[in-house]
Amino acid sequence: MIQRYLSLPTLKAARRALILFLFGTTAVLSLCCYNGLLIYAMHHDCDPLSTGLAKAKDQLVPLLVMEVLAIYPGLAGLFVAGIFSAALSSLSTALNSLSAIVLEDFCKPFVKKPLTEFQVRYLMRASVLVFGTIAVVLVVVVEKMGAVLQLSMSLGPVTLGPLFGLFIMGMFFPRINGTCAIIGAAGGLLTMSYIVIRSQISIALGEFTFAEKPVTVEGCAYDFTPLNRTITFPTDGADSHVEKSLHHVSFLYYTLIGSMVPTIIGYLCAVIKSFTVGYRPEELDIDPLLLAPFLRKYQKPSKTAHMAEVIHEFETKDVQL
């Protein structure tokens, strides 16, 4: 999304794009939740995983589509086409972003002469080829690591959580300087890496499972093996013989943990520095535009007076990006 709004001509247009993106994302997530409720409502008394009608949880949505839309010619195929379209679009965006990051952050800063157009073109193509190959190879690994939803929501917070923590420190804690912010982000990255890796190992070994809704096969209208039986799942999120620890936390809390750990570490670092090396947060030359609006008035007048007019113009007028 950042690439999209940076390509817009004005700040007003970028804000409008972000608002529309927020509403669109909310609508998509709401439909996903509604889709999950539909799946449970249709299959709670005849679990397709227990009867063998579906081999994995990721097959429940296609199964729902085939059961509901099979009577309408073409709609099932349209659904499959939509899945491929969305997947390829997201993959294309990710590969383009990764190639741009490699070029701008890992190549240009370390070359003495400016890269030619020919070199840039083939460098970005090579980056896309390498990352695409890695993505294809990782399919075999991902297949052995459990449900795709749980895995995707576990890997993202490893970096997104500390990144969010950096923004929290920069906007709401002026006393945290750059060094402490980097230390906090590094601590959050290491913490989340341990939690996610250890959690995936435990899941692969079958040490614990996440809580699920109880289902049954008593309402099935077709024959299957094994015989009808009621199936229940653990409600505490972990097997009783496994001692609960940090990596047993639900993956839904990973982003929260990943953002709070860097903030706490960064703030403690700033406090320790103020007592040990004479660090004085009030002497930091902070641009008020980088702080949350309600914190700007608490800065000393000598540091904010010359920025008052700039802040007012930035907040009230459209700005050319």
Number of structural domains (the chain) is 3
Domain span holding position 308: 280-312
Q: How much is the average pLDDT of 241-260?
A: 80
User: Would you say residue 109 lies in a domain?
Assistant: yes
Query: How do residues 71-95 score in pLDDT, each as one tens digit?
Result: 888 888 898 898 888 888 888 888 9
Residue 61 included in any domain: no
Cβ distance 48 to 63 under 8 Å?
yes
Same domain, 35 and 90: no
The predicted structure's pLDDT at residue 264: 96
Task: Verify that 120 and 80 share a domain, yes or no.
Answer: yes
What pTM, to 2 d.p., does this model score?
Answer: 0.71
**How many Å apart are CA 38 and CA 20, to the nearest integer?**
27
Average pLDDT over residues 130-146: 81
pLDDT band of residue 165 (cuts 50, 70, 90) is very high
Half-sphere exposure of 262 (CA within 13 A, CB side): 34
Pair 86, 139 in one domain: yes
Residues 81 and 139 in one domain: yes
Task: Give 242's pLDDT tier (boundaries 50, 70, 90).
Answer: very low
Angle at which helices 148-172 and 254-276 cross, to 10°: 30
Residue with tokens 């996610």: 196
Q: Please check whether residues 29 and 86 belong to one and the same domain.
A: no
37's enclosing H/E stretch is helix 11-43
Among candidate residues 144, 175, 192, the one where a domain is terminated = 144
Among residues 144, 169, 184, the one where a domain terminates is 144
> pLDDT tier at 320 (50, 70, 90 boundaries)?
low
Q: Can you tell me the distance from the alpha carbon of 148 to that of 203, in angstroms, rounded to the nearest whole number?
A: 13
Q: Is residue 193 part of a domain?
A: no
The answer to whether residues 37 and 81 belong to one domain is no
Instruction: Provide the pairing of β-strand 230-231 with 215-216.
Output: antiparallel
Range of lowest pLDDT (85-94, 257-266, 305-314) = 305-314
Tell me, yes or no, whether 102 lies in a domain.
yes
pLDDT value, residue 164: 95
Last residue of a domain, one of 116, 144, 172: 144
* Averaged pLDDT of the chain: 81
Same domain for 93 and 135 = yes
Are both 139 and 98 inside the same structural domain? Answer: yes
Same domain, 29 and 87: no
CA angle 315, 318, 321 (to 5 degrees): 105
Q: Is 279 left (phi over 0), alpha (psi -120 to 50) or beta?
A: beta
Kindly state whether residue 58 falls inside one of the protein's structural domains. Answer: no
Residue 101 lies in a domain: yes
Tokens of 111: 């070359």
Greatest alpha-carbon pair distance for the chain in Å reads 80
Residue 203 covered by a domain: no
pLDDT given for residue 282 in this prediction: 58
pLDDT level of residue 305 (50, 70, 90 thresholds) = very low
Question: Does the residue 157 lie in any domain?
Answer: no
